[in-house]
A = this chain, B = another copy of it.
Amino acid sequence: MTVPSFDADRIDRDTCAALDAADPLTPFRERFTLPEGVIYLDGNSLGALPRDTAAEVQRVIAEEWGSGLIRSWNDAGWFDKPRAVGDMIAPLIGAARGEVVIGDTTSASLFQATVAAARLRPDRRVIVSERGNFPTDLYVLESVQTLLGGDSPLERRLISDDGPSLDDVLGDDVAVVVLTHVDYRTGRMYDMADVTRRVHEAGAVMVWDLCHSAGAVPVDLNGADADFAVGCTYKYLNGGPGAPSFLWAAERHHEDARPALTGWNGHARPFDFTVEYTPAPGITRFRVGTPQVLAISALEASLRVWAEVDMAQVREKSLRLTELFMALVDERLARWGIAVVTPRDPARRGSQVSLRFADGYAVMQALIDRGVIGDFRAPDLMRFGFTPLYVSHVDVWDAVAALEDILHTEVWREARFARRAAVT
């Protein structure tokens, strides 16, 4: 892949328009519904609405539920949806058919995967993660440490950029390493194959969180020889607010895996209604309760778009958009002290760029007020997600121009943009 570089001095809005005209992904823009006048750079938090989702959910409600009623568990394939829709995610993450299943929330799926992973190393008593990991991962691990620890909790070791490093903490006492592939704050990306190899050399099991990877960057779980992964479908995969999570387990672990949430949908013969739990063969044993059909139908509508997408094109455009954004920020915003915290090295970067600015909260509010939607993470990070299916090069140009104008006019100092105690 050719990694683009931009000389901001030689770019103008027309250059960006020319890049859009030549972009093979431009036609996908019309597969999404975005409000007039909005530049949406928060698809890393909640993906935009695919054009066909509403009609598909409507069809499922009216025909499958309203008319089919209970018969749709068979006739409309509801019962098998978690696996069928998992198979639609598989090609986006380097998984095989039958290795991915839809779950409930990422937190529950991570619990499910991590318990199964740790149980593969019953004699080891350490779980490794990262201090800067998305907090729910750390909170879930706290619970796993206690529940699996027996009479005393498992030990937790957290790596960080300031140390200790992964190599510092790996040893023959480590059962599981749980890392998020692309960091939610900075957009920094791990080398999945290299990290997995080092974890395996230490004899531990690797669990990847793909929340900011699936649909954002090419992922090759089997190529990296990973063990388990979970991810989110409401960000880059556009499944809708709170869309269900997915769980991947390498086929080699299916037989031995013992998940923690042993619901009847993960039973070998759920309709025998037996008293004892017998895990289903394959990935099905990771299922829990009755699948959320309406939520899954919205996700399925979006994954039909993804079935047409070439992830190599997504990656190339993602790098072009993020390079362009960083070049323009460097050129036009550096004088206000705004700093790019996302790695410059394309191999270490996901599909977002984060900017550090002490008054980032107010600036982001002012930006949203103008229809350029990114988000903010405390204490000082403005995040911008670049979703190549519906964000253009001109959008990048216009977003930086809006940012520059806000900084220049100091409109963000107005009281109405001051911090509120609310979801940001």
Q: Which residues of A contact B (CB under 8 A)?
A: 33-35, 38, 40, 42, 45-46, 48-49, 53-54, 57-58, 61-62, 64-67, 69-74, 78-79, 104-108, 111, 131, 134-136, 138-140, 142-143, 147-148, 150-151, 158, 232, 234, 240-245, 260-267, 270-277, 288-296, 298, 368, 373, 375, 377-378, 422-424
CB-defined A-B contacts under 8 Å, sample of 30 = A33-B66, A34-B66, A46-B65, A57-B294, A58-B58, A61-B298, A69-B373, A71-B373, A72-B241, A73-B241, A78-B241, A79-B423, A104-B289, A106-B290, A134-B264, A136-B264, A138-B276, A139-B266, A139-B277, A140-B261, A232-B290, A240-B293, A242-B292, A242-B294, A243-B292, A271-B424, A273-B377, A294-B295, A294-B298, A295-B295
Q: Quick one: given A71-B373, A273-B377, A424-B271, are A292 and B139 in contact (CB under 8 Å)?
A: no
Q: When the two chains form the complex, which single residue of B33, B138, B148, B277 contacts A138, counting CB atoms closer than 8 Å?
A: B277
A107-B262, A135-B273, A242-B290 known; 9 new pairs, CB 8 Å cut-off, are A35-B67, A42-B69, A48-B69, A54-B61, A105-B290, A138-B277, A139-B277, A240-B293, A294-B295
A139: which B residues are within 8 A, CB to CB?
262-264, 266-267, 277
Cβ–Cβ contact A260 & B35, under 8 A: no
Most buried by B among A45, A54, A66, A134: A66
Closest partner residue, chain B, to A59 (CB atom): B54
Q: When the two chains form the complex, which single residue of B61, B104, B274 contacts A135, counting CB atoms closer than 8 Å?
A: B274
Cβ–Cβ contact B147 & A260, under 8 A: yes
Q: Quick one: given A135-B275, A277-B139, are A69 and B57 in contact (CB under 8 Å)?
A: no
Q: When the two chains form the complex, which single residue of B48, B58, B65, B368 contacts A71, counting CB atoms closer than 8 Å?
A: B368
